[in-house]
Amino acid sequence: MAQKVARWLGTNNIDNAARLCHSPSTGAMKEMLGTAASTCGYRDWLGTDLIVFLGANPANDQPVAMKYLDQAKRLGTRVVMVNPYREPGMDRYWVPSIARSALFGTDVTDHWFAVRTGGDIAFLSGVVKVMIENGWFDARFVTEHATGLTELAAHLRTLAWPALEAGAGLPRARMEELAALVRDADTAVFVWSMGITQHARGGDAVRMILNLGLLKGFVGRDRCGLMPIRGHSGVQGGAEMGAYATALPGGRPITDETAAEVARHWGFRVPARPGLTAPEMVEAAARGDLDLFYLVGGNFLRTLPDPAYVAAALARVPCRVHQDIIVTDQMLLEPADDVLLLPAKTRYEQDGGGTETTTERRIVFSPEIPRAVGEARAEWRILREVACAVADEADHLLGCADGPAIRAEIAALVPFYAGIEHLAKTGDSVQWGGPHLCTEWRFPTDDAKAHFRVVPLPLDERAAGTFAVSTRRGKQFNTLVYADTDPLTGAARDAVLMNPEDAAERHLRSGDAVTLTNGNGRFTGRVVVAPIARGNLQIHFPEGNTLIARGPRDPTGGVPDYNARVELAAARTAPA
C-alpha cells in the first residue's frame, strides 16, 4: 500500500529498511544468479556437509534459526565462521526449545577465520584462487551452467599472495584451509548478513561469496544454497512489493516499459525514473529540497551515520509525518513548521490480518488480533486514507479496501507470490519459488546460466596507528535496546571490544576508559578484551554512529558504510 500510494501521488521517492541491510545482496545476486532471494531454506542446513557464516551472527540476530543449527550439528554438519570477532553465541549456544541444548548447550563453530574488518574480498579471493589453481571445482557446472570463470581465473592469477594476506589479515595457509574444507564438501550452504553488506564494497564482497559458492555448484539442489539471512520480518517482502526507490513491484527495474506495464494494471500513471534512496532523502532534506517527509516506522536519527547531520536535516523539513507504533526521539525534533504523529496498530492487529516474507521466501500469514488502542489504525489503512483525503478518486484507483483485496492484488501484480491470496488463518504459508531457486542449475538470466564476476581488491587505506572500528548489535532489535548488557558477550553498551595483544601493547585492561576519535566524531567507552582480529575494534550500534561518515556507500545497493578508521587513546574521564 505504501508504494502504491507514493506512485499514485507521482513519486518513486519511497524506500524501506532493505536499503540499509541487504541491498548489496539484491544487486549482486540479481546480476550473477538472476534472482535476489535466498536460493534455499533452513531445511537445507540439516545434513549439509558445511555451513559457512560470513559477517553473520544468528545467535544474536536470528536466534530462532539456532534450533536448525543445533539439528544440523547433530547430523554431522561442520560450521565455519568468517568474522573478525569470535562471537560467543556462535561458539556455544543454549537453544531453549531443545531440552538437551537448554541444559548443556550446543557447540556450534568448528572453524573460525578471523578476517580483518573489510578483508572479506581479499580473503575470499585467496580461497577461490586456491580452488581454481588446484582444479577444485565442478567442471560440468562451470562449463555447462556458468560463464565467466576464465576471466575470474585470469584476474586471480595477477593477485600476489602478500597483497591477499595483507588485505585479509590472515596468512595464505588459512585461505588454503577454507579452500580444502569447501573442496571436501559435497554439499554446502553459505550464509551472510550485514557484516558483509554494510561496507563501501559490500556488493563486491557478496560477489566473492557467490563466486566461491558457484565453483562447486552449491545452488539449486538439496542441502545447498546461497542465503542472505534477514533480521526484519518486513524487509524482504517490502522490497519485493516495490517499496523501493529503485524497483517496482516484483523487483521490476524502473524503466519506461515497466512503469507503463504497472500503470496499465493500476489505471494511473507511474513515474518511470528511480527515486531517492533513504540516505538520499535525508541529504535532500538537508538541502531544503523536501516539502514533506513521511516516515513509517524506523528512526533515521539512530539508524543513519552522523546523527547530528541527520537531526539538522530532519529539522529543515516544513512538514514531517511520523506513523509508528511507539514514540521515538526523531519525532521530537523541532520542525521547520509542522509535525504530525499518526499512531499505528502493530503488525498483529492489521485489519484482515497480514503477511511477512521470511529469509527462506516463505510468505506467512498472521490473523488479526481484534483490539483497539486509542486512535491507532492499521498501517495500510492510514496510508490509504491519507491518499483519499488528497483526492476522492484515490478510493477507486487504489482499490485494496481490505486485507484480502490487498493480497489478491499482490498475487495479480507479483506472479511469483501466487498463493498469497488464499492465506487466511494461523499457520497458512506459501514458499514462493518452491524449496530451491535455480533448480537443475537453470538460472533466470538471459542465457539461463550463472555468471562469475571479477572483483578487484579494495585499496588498503589503513593509516599507521589507527584501528578499524565496526558497529555491532547487542540485546536489541534494530535501534530498540532491550538491555544495557549483552547476555551473549557480557559487554555493556559502552564496550570497546579489543584484541588482547593490542590492549597489552597500550597497557590497557578490561574496564579501562578509552576514547575513539576521527574526523567524524568521538566515542568514549570501556575496553573489553575479546577474541577479535588484531587492529580491529567493535562498538555498539547506534551509539557508535557518531564515528561513521555519511558519505561512503556501496555502489551496488546504496547502503552506508558502517565502518571507520579511528585513533584510540586512554580517556581522561570515565564514560558516564
Of the chain, the end-to-end C-alpha distance in Å amounts to 44
Q: What is the CATH number of domain 467-570?
A: 2.40.40.20
Q: Are 124 and 87 in contact (CB under 8 A)?
A: no
CA distance 125 to 156: 7
Class of domain 2-14+233-422: alpha beta
User: Could you give the C-alpha distances from 389 to 293, 377, 396, 398, 525, in angstroms and in order?
Assistant: 17, 16, 13, 13, 49
What integer pLDDT is reported at residue 20 of this predicted model?
Answer: 87
β-bridge mates for residue 342, sequence order:
323
Q: Which residues contact 195 (CB under 8 A, 6 or more apart)?
A: 54, 55, 56, 57, 83, 470
pTM: 0.96
- The string of DSSP letters for 263-315 reads HHHHTS----S----HHHHHHHHHHT--SEEEEES--HHHHSS-HHHHHHHHH
CA–CA distances in Å: residue 202 to residues 41, 120, 207, 452: 23, 9, 9, 17
What per-residue confidence (pLDDT) applies to 4? 97
Topology at the third CATH level for domain 22-229: Dimethylsulfoxide Reductase; domain 2 (3.40.228)
Give residue 576's pLDDT.
61
| Cβ–Cβ under 8 Å, residues 80 and 110 | yes
The SS3 of residue 506 is: coil
Q: What is the DSSP string of 301-361?
A: HHHSS-HHHHHHHHHH-SEEEEEESS--GGGGSPPSSEEEEEEB--GGG-TT-EEEE-TTS
Pairwise CA distance, residues 235 & 38, whole Å? 13
- Taking the chain (576 residues) in runs of 10, the rounded mean pLDDT of each run is 96 93 94 97 97 96 94 98 97 96 97 97 98 98 98 98 97 98 98 95 97 98 96 83 95 97 97 96 97 94 95 97 95 94 94 93 94 92 96 94 96 97 95 97 98 94 90 87 92 97 97 96 97 97 94 92 96 73
The domain ranges of the chain are 2-14+233-422, 22-229, 467-570
178's grid cell: 577454507
Residue from 114, 56, 119, 115 nearest 89 by CA: 56
pLDDT for the residue 480: 84
